[in-house]
Amino acid sequence: MNEERRNMNATTVFEKLLPPYYVGLCTKSPTASGTGANCNELEDCNGYVRVKTAKEDWEFTAPAFPFTKDGVFSNVSEITFKPATGSWNEVKYFALFDSAEEGNMLFFGQLDKPICVKEQDVVSFQIGHIELDLTL
C-alpha cells in the first residue's frame, strides 16, 4: 500500500508541475540559481526561440519500491527547434523554462556532446533524449 501511495503522490505532484514547459538551449552551464534571464541561454540569436511543449510531450516514471532510484522525467515526443537563420555558436546545455521568454528556469542538463549550430541547421531532441533524474 505504501508503495502505491508513494508512486501516486509522486505522479500527482509531477502532473501539477506539468507544462507548458519551454525548452531552451544554453552555451555554458546554467547554475541552480540561474533565472530565465540569466542562464547562459542563446540570446537574440539568428532565429532562435524556445520550443513550447505540452503535457503529452513528457513522462514521469515514479520510483519503485524500495525507492532506491529517483524518478525519471523524459520527453516522449520529438522536440524540434526552428531552423537557424545564422550561427547559434556552440550549444552545450538544455534548460526547461516556465515561459517563452525570461521567466523561471526549472531544470537544466548537459548535452552528451556539444552542438555547433550553423545556418539552416535544425536542433532536435529525439524521444527519450531529454532525461532528468528527480530526487523525490
Instruction: Give CA separation, 39 vs 68, 80, 95, 106, 126, in Å.
Output: 31, 21, 9, 11, 24
The pLDDT assigned to 6 comes to 38
Higher pLDDT, 39 or 47: 47
Report angle CA 82, 104, 9 to the nearest 5 degrees.
105
Residue 13 has pLDDT above 70, yes or no: no
The pLDDT assigned to 1 comes to 35
Summarize pLDDT for 60-89 with one digit per residue, the tens.
887 666 555 677 888 999 999 999 999 998
Residue 133 has pLDDT above 80, yes or no: no
Residue 134 has pLDDT above 80, yes or no: no
Radius of gyration of the chain (CA): 16
